[in-house]
Every structure is written in C-alpha cells, then in structure tokens.
Amino acid sequence: GTPITYTITVNPTPTVNAEANQTYCNTAAVPLNTLTGPVTGTTFAWTNSNTAIGLAASGNGDIPAFTATNTGTSAISGVVSITPTANGCTGPVSTYTITVNPTPTVTAEANQTYCNGVPVALNTISSTVSGTTFTWTNSNNAIGLAGNGNGDVPAFTATNTSADPITGIVSITPTANTCVGPVSTYTV
C-alpha cells in the first residue's frame, strides 16, 4: 500500500535562568528583573509569597521594578516563584528570595544640661531594630566629650572654662544589616 507519514515533534522543557537571592533596605529602589531562559519563545508567570515587601502577589513576564518596603523592626522576605512555559510545555518552577531589612532608628535622646566639672554618665544608645550599631559625632570638643566615636556615648566630665554657656550637638547615626537610618541629635 501507499505509505503514510506523519511527524512527531518533541518540544524541549522550558526553564528560567536561575535568579540569586536579593536583599534590600526599606525604601530602596528594586530594579526591573528581566527573566530569561534558553528555550526560544518562553513566557513566564510569577508569584510572590509576601506582598508586604512591596512587590505585587503575581504577574506575567518580567518582575517589575518596585520600592522595597519594611516598616517593622526585623527583616521580612518574599519568595518569588517563576513558572516557564513554551510551546504548550510547562517547565520546573524556579524560586528566589527577596529580603527587605527595616530602617534602623535611634531611641530619641533628651537635651542635657550640666555644670562645669560635673561627671556625665555613660549614655547607652538603643534602637527597636535588633543588631543596630551606632556612630556618633560631637560638634564641640570644648564641652569635654570627644569629637566622635562608635557605640554608646562614653562618660565624661562636663567642661566649660568660659564665662558663657557652651553647647555641643551630638549626632547619632544608626546602621543595621548595611542599612543606614536617619541621624538623631541632642545637645549637651
């Protein structure tokens, strides 16, 4: 008889090129994440497990740019799951994590007034964000306090040999998880 021919086409399994985990500070601009894969014509659908980080719950195509968000006191994360599809075939899901660290803060310090020669106690600096470290500067060494330091503001003896009051402005900068928070100031 007359032979009959037909074609069997086997499409490749689509994949997505692996994405590295990412970490950002609160309010950081997260750039567009262009998704790619080796199979021509692959499209991507994605989901995000935690919209509190600033990224929508789901979408198609590239992961859009967004502003990282974390108004809490500890790190939060969202797991982004990407599903590739091409030629009617669905490939394995690929995931990566986006972590957003909070903005470190300084617990407000009250302005302080002392008399010449009075011992000033250690000023223990604190924050609601765990692991916060502090650097500080003093605008006027004549008050008896060094010009700068790390950690708590040390004890010192208040000094003023002039006839008028003098003031130093102490500025404290908090840092946690590579994120720098707003400077807090008080006067001595």
For every residue of the chain, which 3-state class applies, written as one string?
Answer: CCCCCCCCCCCCCCCCCCCCCEEEECCCEECCECCCCCCCCCEEEEEECCHHHCCCCEEECCECCEECCCCCCCCEEEEEEEEEEECCEECCCEEEEEEEECCCCCCCCCCCCCCCCCEECCECCCCCCCCCEEEEEECCHHHCCCCEEECCECCEECCCCCCCCCCCEEEEEEEECCEECCCEEEEC
> What pLDDT score was predicted for residue 143?
98
pLDDT the model gives residue 155: 97
Residue 52: the pLDDT is: 98
Q: Which residue has the tokens 């969202």?
A: 78
Beta carbons of 179 and 104 less than 8 angstroms apart: yes
**How many other C-beta atoms are found inside a 10 Å radius of the C-beta of residue 2?**
3
* Contact call for residues 83 and 45 (beta carbons, < 8 A): yes
What is each CA distance from 117 to 112, 114, 154, 160, in whole angstroms?
A: 15, 8, 16, 8
Nearest to 174 by CA among 147, 141, 146, 152: 152
Alpha-carbon separation of residue 82 from 13, 69, 93, 110, 133 (angstroms): 14, 21, 5, 50, 37
* Positions of the chain with pLDDT under 70: none
Question: What pLDDT score does 34 carry?
Answer: 97
Determine the pLDDT at residue 79.
98
The per-residue pLDDT for 169 is: 98
Q: What is the pLDDT of residue 80?
A: 98
